[in-house]
């Protein structure tokens, strides 16, 4: 596929996906969704060990391009549920299921579905000048792209409802303070920090990180005994991995480990 609305590169295990409609604050269209889906297939099949998602220009993503949802005079209203089911829900599911770290670099405004797309990442950093807006309430809608799932789990009920029902801007610093994202980074240090994270995860024990991610997600629906059993079974499998053997040998040999992600 030839990409028009995204940029994609996969080099040395680092997959970089950049939303690339800067004149529209990288808002989503059907074509962009198709390109992102194709890029994720490449992430799944071409040996990536980390995925980095960011936006081109001054914004990360302003959500859905509303020009695609306009209703013709006298016509039927758009089926927003079908749009969610076709595009946004599968996108969140795929990001959560990727067996590798997903690093999101929020380089500017993240609004609506764009805000919740960012929150679907595993490690989220943001420029100090960036902000997050749950803008759905201003259109009479609810936070989709798993917003109603992630927000209360990340920041609690009171803050989740405040963000969702008021639609106010939340600064990157406040997002960090509330535990919504991992780190707020000075604007002039943002690219360096994003590259550092990408390089770190490209050399990390990918399989162990993937299992950490899987178990963290599973814990949200498990009781304590179920989770402890899952930890036992996963540790048993990882204890047979090449990366575990390398980690132990490197520790005992007082050298840096060279992980292969297996």
Q: What is the reported pLDDT for 73? A: 59
Supply the DSSP string of 93-135, one letter for each residue. Answer: HHHHH-SS-EEEEE-SEEETHHHHHHHTSSEEEEETT-EEE-G
The pLDDT-based confidence of 76 (bands split at 50, 70, 90) is confident
Residue in this structure with the two tokens 């920090």, named with its chain if needed? 193
Percentage above 70 pLDDT, the chain? 97
Given a cut of 90, whether residue 68 has pLDDT beyond it is no
The whole-number average pLDDT for the span 171-196 is 98
Where is pLDDT greater, at 25 or 78? 25
Given a cut of 90, whether residue 176 has pLDDT beyond it is yes
Q: What is the reported pLDDT for 71? A: 57
The pLDDT-based confidence of 78 (bands split at 50, 70, 90) is confident
pTM: 0.95
Given a cut of 80, whether residue 232 has pLDDT beyond it is yes
The whole-number average pLDDT for the span 206-232 is 97
The pLDDT-based confidence of 12 (bands split at 50, 70, 90) is very high
Given a cut of 80, whether residue 171 has pLDDT beyond it is yes
Q: What is the reported pLDDT for 170? A: 98
Given a cut of 90, whether residue 124 has pLDDT beyond it is yes
Q: Are strands 50-55 and 14-19 parallel, antiparallel or unpaired?
A: parallel
Given a cut of 80, whether residue 70 has pLDDT beyond it is no
**Nearest CA among 5, 7, 13 for reference residue 258:** 13
Q: What is the reported pLDDT for 183? A: 98
Given a cut of 90, whether residue 117 has pLDDT beyond it is yes
β-strand partners of 28: 64
The whole-number average pLDDT for the span 116-135 is 98
Q: What is the reported pLDDT for 77? A: 81
The whole-number average pLDDT for the span 53-79 is 84
Q: Are strands 183-185 and 123-127 parallel, antiparallel or unpaired?
A: parallel
Domains and CATH numbers, the chain: 6-202 (3.90.226.10), 206-252 (1.10.12)
* Residues 158, 163: Cα–Cα separation, whole Å: 9
Percentage above 90 pLDDT, the chain? 94
Given a cut of 90, whether residue 67 has pLDDT beyond it is no
The whole-number average pLDDT for the span 204-232 is 97
**Nearest CA among 16, 6, 8, 7 for reference residue 199:** 16
């Amino acid at each position: 596929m030839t990409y028009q609305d995204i940029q994609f590169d996969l080099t040395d295990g680092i997959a970089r996906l950049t939303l690339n409609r800067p004149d529209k604050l990288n808002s989503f269209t059907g074509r962009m969704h198709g390109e992102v889906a194709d890029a994720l297939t490449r992430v799944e099949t071409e040996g990536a060990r980390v995925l980095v998602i960011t936006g081109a220009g001054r914004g990360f993503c302003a959500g859905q391009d509303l020009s695609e949802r306009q209703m013709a005079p006298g016509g039927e209203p758009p089926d927003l549920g079908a749009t969610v089911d076709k595009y946004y829900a599968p996108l969140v599911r795929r990001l959560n299921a990727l067996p590798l770290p997903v690093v999101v670099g929020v380089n500017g405004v993240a609004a609506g579905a764009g805000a919740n797309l960012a929150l679907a990442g595993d490690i989220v950093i943001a420029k100090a000048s960036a902000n997050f807006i749950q803008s759905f309430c201003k259109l009479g809608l609810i936070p989709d792209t798993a917003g109603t799932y992630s927000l209360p789990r990340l920041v609690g009920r009171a803050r989740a409802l405040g963000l969702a029902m008021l639609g106010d801007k939340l600064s990157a610093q406040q997002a960090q303070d509330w535990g919504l994202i991992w780190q707020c980074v000075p604007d002039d240090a943002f690219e360096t920090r994003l590259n550092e994270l990408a390089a770190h995860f490209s050399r990390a024990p990918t399989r162990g990180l993937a299992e950490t991610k899987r178990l963290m997600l599973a814990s949200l629906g498990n009781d304590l005994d179920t989770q402890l059993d899952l930890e036992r079974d996963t540790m048993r499998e990882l204890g047979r991995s090449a990366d575990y053997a390398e980690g132990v040998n490197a520790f005992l040999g007082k050298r840096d480990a060279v992980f292969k992600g297996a």
